[in-house]
Amino acid sequence: MEFSDASMVPPDLQQPLSNFLLSLADDEFILGYWDSEWTGVAPTLEEDVACSSIAQDEIGHARLLYQEVAALTGSTPDQVAYDRTLSEYRQVQLVERRRGNWAFTCARRYLYETADQVRLASLTTSTYRPLVEAIGKIEREEVYHQMHSTAWLNRLANGTPTAYQLLTEALRQLWPDALGIFEPFENEDVLLRAGILPVPSAVLEQRWLGDIVPVFERLRLPLPIKKESPAVDSPALYIPTIVARTGGRRGQHSADFTDLWNQMTMVSRMEPGASW
């Protein structure tokens, strides 16, 4: 069963699908929003340009996905982006933290981009055709983000003692949120049965950790994960040794997001339906 467009989606699937698309879109939108704050104040001119371009890409990706939500719910991408209450946003808490210092921004980008690659790759076999088409576009652009964030993780980890120290401090703050990236989607069982979500979040999390654990080990970076081998022939299982911070997918957000929401929805609240 494949859904070729929004009109093919049965009524009982509309809400779970719409919230699922919002989850993917809000992650990109909110992270893009924070990263755009580096415009004009990034450590070097090149990074200024890079952060602005990445932010622009992410907000573009969010817009693509908001269009699909709008098609399902009979609204417009702008309404979907700005006319929601705080608890109607679906991003994970990792992306809604304030941008912090440069090391925090780079470390968060690395954690997010590596997880996003795993997620996007798994969604190329989704039964929701408009999503597969959007991802065909998004995935290739994200390769450049991944290159950029990998370069910075290595640069800071192998840089001066101060750079290494700032990076490890940032990672210690980030890990509880990072382990919430693969918090299950709302109605995940429904999405799995419909094939809209081809792989469970828990499996994706293991794939992601399989990608990044060797990198963190090589760079001697904080890694609150232990490896267990349940049986001789089965693959290693990565088990967090700290508690993940979750709730974003259910609309529970941090104070940082309240501030951001107040700022980014200000114009649409003052002048509903404004265009520019």
Partner 1 sequence: MSETRTRTNDGSLDEQLVWEALQTVPDPELPAISVVDMGIIRRIDIDEASSSIRVVITPTFSGCPALSQIQTSIAEKLRSLAKDVEVAVTMQQPWTSDMLSASARQKLSKVGIAPPPHVGRGPLLPMLTQHPLTCPHCGSQQTMLENPFGPTPCRAIAYCQHCHQPFEQFKPI
Residue corresponding to tokens 């259910």? 250
Q: How far is the CB of 90 from partner 1 (least distance, A)?
A: 20
Q: Could you give the CA distance from residue 263 to residue 36 in angstroms, rounded to a whole number?
A: 13
> In this chain, which of 60, 195, 210, 240 binds partner 1, going by CB under 8 A?
60
Residues 205-264 that bind partner 1 (CB under 8 A): none
Structure tokens at 209: 């950790």
CA distance 217 to 240: 15
Among 106, 120, 134, 170, the residue binding partner 1 under the rule CB under 8 A is 134
**C-alpha dihedral (235, 249, 92, 85), degrees to nearest 10:** 170
By CB under 8 A, residue 61 contacts partner 1: yes
Give me the least distance between CB of 18 and partner 1, in Å please: 18
DSSP 128: B
Tell me whether residue 16 or residue 130 sits nearer to partner 1 (CB atom).
Answer: 130
Q: Does 138 bind partner 1 (CB under 8 A)?
A: yes
Q: Which of 76, 87, 136, 272 binds partner 1 (CB under 8 A)?
A: 136
Site for partner 1 in 112-131 (CB under 8 A): 130
Q: What is the DSSP string of 137-194?
A: HHHHHHHHHHHHHHHHHHHHHTS-HHHHHHHHHHHHHHHHHHTTTTPPPTTHHHHHHT
Contact yes or no for 119/204 (Cβ under 8 A)? yes
> Judged by CB under 8 A, how many residues of this single chain contact partner 1?
27
What is the smallest separation between the CB atom of 21 and partner 1, expressed in angstroms? 14
Query: Pattern 182-211, binding to partner 1, x per CB under 8 A?
Result: ------------------------------
Answer yes or no: are the C-beta atoms of 113 and 32 closer than 8 Å. Answer: no
How many residues appear in the chain? 276
| Nearer Cβ to partner 1 (137/226) | 137
Residue with token string 């990608």: 211
Nearest distance in Å: CB 213, partner 1: 20
Q: Which residue type occupies 141?
A: E
* Interacting residues with partner 1 between 139 and 178 (CB under 8 A): 140-141, 143-144, 146-148
Contacts to partner 1 by CB under 8 A: 46, 49-50, 52-54, 56-61, 63-64, 130, 133-134, 136-138, 140-141, 143-144, 146-148
